[in-house]
Amino acid sequence: MNRQLGFRAHRGAVATAALLILGVLGSLSSSVYAQSETAEDEPVSDSFTARQFGERQPQTLSFDSERVIVGAEFLNLYTGPGRGYVIDHVVEYGEPLWLLKRRTDWVKVMTRTGKTGWAKIAELDEIYTAEGEQVAIPTPGIDDFYEQSFRMGFTYGDFAGANSMGISLGYRFTGNISAELRAAQTIGAYSDSQTYQVALMHQPFPRWRLSPYFLLGTGINITSPNATIVATEDRKDTAMLAGLGVTTYLSRRFALRAEVANHYLLTSREENQEIVEWKLGFDVFM
């Protein structure tokens, strides 16, 4: 009898406890539901698991690295800047990252625990500042090509039947006009020569996909005939240069270039010499 009563009381207590727990759970779940409705218009903030770290900062941080917050569901970090390296860390939504440096299409980042890794730029399309402003990682593109100042060029070509290899350093003053320092070495069957020139370039339509240009320049040609038997003298002549060519943007920092130029050598002999040079090359702009 007593035992029955006690048992009954006990059962009542269990029932009320169960009800209480259910009630608490119910209220919790409804608040969670309400939160998920409003989450869409809030800026990216710390995730639930990230909160246990609080505002932790890595110890070994350089002073100029930028802090961003991951807005994608997760972000893979590789051990090196390339597909072939290992993914050894994952950063989740809402965690802060510090951007250290970029190499090709990869960015080295540091997590709040001080771990570093490399993230693909294509996967960093959703990162935000603390104020909720979206951040993009700059990569070289066609705008840099239009806004270039200095450029380096490498060419390979045919200099009156001889192989010619050249480099150039160019500077763009305006959208249409640039100046170039050019040096080329040609290796032929009968003579080798070196040419050094300064030239002025004019691009009438810099925004065309295939943009033509005209060239005027002057310089010196040093010609040394190939003679293994007879000792010969090197000739040094002043040269005038006129040419036309076409340039087109390839990708990243590269532009392709084709050119034909007429060298007019003012020799000390009876008549002056004309040489036609064909060139194909590319420019790397900075």
Partner 1 sequence: METRIRRIYVRLAGLLLAGAVAAPFSSAAIAQSDQELDDIISPDLERREIREAKIDSEDFEFTLYLGGILSVEDFGTDRMIGGSLAYHINEDFFMEAAYAQSTLGESSYERLSGSAPLLTEDERDLSMYNLSLAWNFLPGEIFIGSKFALNSNLYLIGGAGNTNFAGEEHFTYNVGAGVRLLAQDWLALRLDVRDHIFEHEIFGEPLNTNNLSAQLGVSIYF
Footprint of partner 1 on this chain (CB under 8 A)?
64, 66, 68, 79-86, 99-108, 118, 129, 133-138, 154, 156, 163, 165, 185, 187, 192, 226, 228, 252, 254, 284
Least distance (Å) between residue 220 CB and partner 1: 17
> How far, rounded to the nearest angstrom, does the alpha carbon of residue 214 sit from its chain's CA centroid?
30
Shortest Å distance, C-beta 269 to partner 1: 23
Is the separation of the CB atoms in 286 and 254 below 8 Å?
no
- CB nearer to partner 1: pick between 1 and 189: 189
Instruction: Tell me whether residue 156 or residue 264 sits nearer to partner 1 (CB atom).
Output: 156
Smallest distance from partner 1 to CB 222, Å: 12
Tell me whether residue 18 or residue 250 sits nearer to partner 1 (CB atom).
Answer: 250
Quick one: 109 or 203, whose CB is closer to partner 1?
A: 109
Which two tokens mark 199?
Answer: 């030239």
Instruction: Quote the CA–CA distance of 152 and 107 in Å, as a whole number.
Output: 26
CB 106, min distance to partner 1, A: 7
Which residues have a Cβ under 8 Å from the Cβ of 64 and sit 6 or more positions away? Answer: none
**C-alpha to C-alpha distance for 95 and 84, rounded to whole angstroms:** 26
The rounded radius of gyration (Å) of the Cα atoms in the chain is 35
Tokens standing for residue 158: 């045919």
